[in-house]
Amino acid sequence: MYQYNLGFISNENLFAHVKGTVEKYRFNIDLKKFNKNLIDPIKLTFDSKIYGKSLEDIIELEIIRQMDKSNSNHIGYFHQNIFKYIDSEWSVPKKGFDLVNEQEKIYVEMKNKHNTMNSSSSQKTYMKMQAMLLDDADNRCMLVEIIAKKSQNIPWQVSLDGVPRKHEFIRRVSIDNFYEIVTGEEYAFKKLCEALPIVLEDVMESLAQNTIKNNVFEELKQISPNLLKSLYLLSFSKYEGFDTLKI
């Protein structure tokens, strides 16, 4: 069996979870799938003429866009479901919150980016968390952000009817801090990021799948000659421990 040596998650569980995520990815698309949301040929014509590209190129870009949108949801699956492999007390309920620890009475909403919720969505989520505290004063709620502005674990402040609200038990937490809460290990998320490329290589070899590759990353190479490292540093440079990222 592969050796990833993370400690907080077994080699078998990490490989299985990454494999399960990869298998959800879209590796092909047909006309029916391509037109599922009704393609706008006027827009494609405008795009072709304005950007000086052939229609074939524009369609190819639209295919990639659609596949990327679908695959982004699968990355959400990866983030949400990995914790039940790390600690069996964590579960993914069918409704309500994204992640729950009934033993510790912790209820989590996960968002991929810090700016994905508008004011209305933030208020709705905050009030849902307030209700949990009213039901049981021992409950704890968290908004966990994968790509946050910085590493943090702070009371989440929102405006309800124009009045700023915050509560010590409703917290806004970056993913690196959340991994530390779950695992008790300070740099657990950084270590996962370091292992992930290796796991993915093992998974792809076992599946014998070919992925679509995009080589247009000239600006990323300005951050680091190592393209993969530059991607992580682009998103997580302000997270704890990433100044010593080893990839």
Q: Which residue has the tokens 């009030």?
A: 127
* 112: its two tokens: 């991929």
Torsion of CA 114, 120, 122, 128, to 10 degrees: -150
* 240: its two tokens: 């704890």
State residue 144's pLDDT score: 97
CA 191 to chain centre: 16
39: closest CA among 26, 48, 51? Answer: 48
Q: Is residue 166 in some structural domain?
A: yes
Query: Rounded distance, CA 169 to CA 185, Å?
Result: 22
State residue 146's pLDDT score: 95
Amino acid at 106: I
Sign of CA dihedral 11, 198, 200, 217: positive
State residue 58's pLDDT score: 82
Say what the pTM is.
0.76
DSSP, collapsed to helix, strand or coil, labels residue 198 as: helix
* 33: its two tokens: 């799938």
Q: Is residue 203 in some structural domain?
A: no
Q: Is residue 132 in some structural domain?
A: yes
Q: Which residue has the tokens 């000086």?
A: 52
Reported as type and span, the H/E element at residue 160 is strand 158-160
Burial class (CB in 10 A: 0-12, 13-18, 19+), 213: exposed
Burial class (CB in 10 A: 0-12, 13-18, 19+), 144: buried
State residue 1's pLDDT score: 62
State residue 235's pLDDT score: 75
State residue 69's pLDDT score: 78
Domain count, the chain: 1
Q: Is residue 116 in some structural domain?
A: yes
Q: Which residue has the tokens 């909403």?
A: 109
CA 135 to chain centre: 30
State residue 211's pLDDT score: 54
Q: Is residue 215 in some structural domain?
A: no
State residue 210's pLDDT score: 59
The mean pLDDT values, 10 residues at a time, for the chain of 247 residues are 90 96 78 70 82 81 77 89 96 95 97 82 95 96 96 94 92 98 96 96 82 41 69 75 84
User: Range of 102's domain?
Assistant: 89-180
Amino acid at 23: E
Reported as type and span, the H/E element at residue 78 is helix 55-81
